Amino acid sequence: MSDTARTWVEVLFNVTYLAVIWSLVVMMIRRLPAVRQADRAVATRLIWAFALLALGDTGHVGFRVVAYALGGLNAHPLLVGLGALSTAYTVTLFYMLMVDVWRLRFSRALGWFGWLLLAAGVVRLIVMVFPQNQWDQVVPPYEWGLFRNAFLVVQGLGVMALILRDAIRKGDGMFTWIGAMIGVSYAFYAPVILWVATVPMLGMLMIPKTCAYVAIAIIAYRGLFVRGVAPGAAPKSKSEAVARATR
């Protein structure tokens, strides 16, 4: 694939992704009052998690789109770096919230492992402040990229393990799929972390990795905000009424 074709694929995907993820966040917010009371706390944290994810990615992919429009990524490294920094912070908070989602969904105490995952998030937030990260560069230093992302891997795979363990035990299909999609996202993200500096085309794996996050949002929306509405809750539109009648 030529550089021009790759640029257009990335730009079109980024714009589409932002439209989809923000739409899902808005729909979650609108339907929150209809969610069963027992699921309300989990639903609220999922809204915060995906709103943060969408906000950070608006900076990340949005700034990349702007940089392309203004002459390319290498012409505006600070813009690209600030976008990467914004999503680095919000995805860290996303996984900290997902730990709490797991705790509430399965009525579990955090325990030492839950606290470890939260601590990994706090340490990562601190590590990203250091100037050695060189956020003003399009391609950050390899060693520091590995260092800060190691904490994210601990967060993500840790919460995935907790969710899958309890969801499978309890026959919770929705959260089994959510845990599986977290695993899928890391399967695509790992080669990017390890080798994108030497093989730039691996950056395209961020597309299926991002699609996995969209899948998590869709699974959560359908399971909690559509199927999980309180009995007798009034639908807000004709389409919702039809959907409810056919369930």
Report yes or no on 112 lying in a domain. Answer: yes
Confidence of residue 243 (pLDDT cuts 50, 70, 90): very low
Cα–Cα distance list, 102 to 154, 158, 171 (Å): 16, 11, 14
* Distance, CA of 163 to CA of 178 (rounded, Å): 8
pLDDT per position as a tens digit, 167-203? 999 999 999 999 999 999 999 999 998 888 788 788 8
CATH code, domain with 219 = 1.20.1070.10
At 198 the pLDDT is 83
Interacting residues of 19 by C-beta distance below 8 A, sequence separation 6+: none
Report yes or no on 247 lying in a domain. Answer: no
Which residue segment(s) compose the domain that 11 sits in?
3-233
Interior angle at CA 9, CA 180 and CA 182, nearest 5: 10
**Of the candidates 33, 16, 48, 80, the residue with the CA atom closest to the CA atom of residue 225:** 33
Q: How many other C-beta atoms lie within 10 A of the C-beta of residue 52? A: 20
Report yes or no on 244 lying in a domain. Answer: no
pTM, full prediction: 0.88
Please count the structural domains in the chain: 1
H/E stretch holding 66 reads helix 40-69
At 231 the pLDDT is 59
Q: Is the pLDDT at 245 greater than 80, yes or no? A: no
pLDDT per position as a tens digit, 15-68? 899 999 999 999 999 999 999 999 999 999 999 999 999 999 998 888 888 888
